[in-house]
């Protein structure tokens, strides 16, 4: 019986160390903003690695799943393998033998609350961006392509294909830049 940890952050500049899950026998970590479980290779590896009697430890519900459907599916899959799952921050454990209706209801409620919190956060972010745009402060992310360079190369007679190759971008991006 192994204690298996899972830690995830959404961006490369965030620290996994903030998710103190304690001592584990094996640790799976990733720095991805995977919207679904399928988009997270370390989570898929963990699910394939664990065996009956193992225990998975995660910092919080929102680190395991972004939405209620994924949360329920992951917990159900782990429980079906005879694996318990513990959320440290939330002080919750879902053992495989506790997969009754009441446990599922409780998990659904908690997952729905986490999903609701995320939607509120996204809404506040959008409102903040709108206010910043109204003040002329928000400019968005920096352009990843050099439009002037694309136009210059086109004027020099290079084909769309050659410009894309030289700039390391797609032909469609070159086409949109020149015709848009």
**Longest pairwise C-alpha distance within the chain:** 71
Name the percent of the chain lying above pLDDT 70: 96
User: Each residue of 8-36: pLDDT tens digit?
Assistant: 887 776 777 788 899 999 999 888 776 67
In the chain, where the domains are located? 3-113, 147-179
**Token digits for 31?**
């720095």
Write down the CATH number for the domain with range 3-113.
Answer: 3.40.50.1390
Q: What is the pTM of this model?
A: 0.61
What separation in angstroms does the CA of 156 have from each of 98, 162, 168?
70, 11, 18
Residue 84 CB contacts under 8 Å (≥ 6 apart), including other chains: 54, 55, 56, 78, 93, 94, 95, 96
pLDDT score, position 70? 84
Q: 110 by DSSP, 3-state: which?
A: helix
Mean pLDDT of 98-123: 78
Name the percent of the chain lying above pLDDT 90: 32
Please spell the DSSP secondary structure of 137-148, one letter per residue. Answer: ----SPPSS-HH
Give the integer Cα–Cα distance in Å for 157 and 173. Answer: 17
**Token digits for 131?**
């206010």
The enclosing H or E element of 77 equals helix 68-80
Judge whether 10 counts as a catalytic residue. Answer: yes
Mean pLDDT of 121-134: 88
């Amino acid at each position: 019986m192994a204690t298996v940890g899972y830690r995830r952050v959404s961006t490369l500049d965030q620290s996994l160390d903030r998710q103190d899950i304690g001592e584990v026998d094996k640790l799976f970590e990733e720095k991805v903003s995977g919207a679904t479980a399928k988009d997270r290779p370390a989570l898929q590896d963990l699910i394939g690695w664990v065996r009956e009697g193992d225990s998975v430890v995660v910092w919080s519900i929102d680190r395991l799943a972004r939405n209620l459907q994924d949360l329920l599916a992951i917990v159900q899959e782990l429980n079906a393998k005879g694996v318990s799952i513990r959320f440290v921050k939330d002080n919750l454990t879902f053992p495989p033998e506790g997969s009754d209706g009441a446990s599922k209801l409780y998990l659904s409620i908690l997952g729905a609350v986490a999903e609701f919190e995320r939607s509120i956060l996204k809404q506040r972010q959008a409102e903040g961006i709108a206010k910043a745009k109204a003040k002329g402060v928000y400019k968005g992310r920096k352009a990843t392509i050099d439009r002037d360079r694309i136009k210059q190369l086109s004027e020099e007679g290079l084909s769309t294909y050659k410009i894309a190759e030289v700039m390391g971008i797609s032909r469609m991006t070159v086409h949109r830049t020149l015709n848009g």
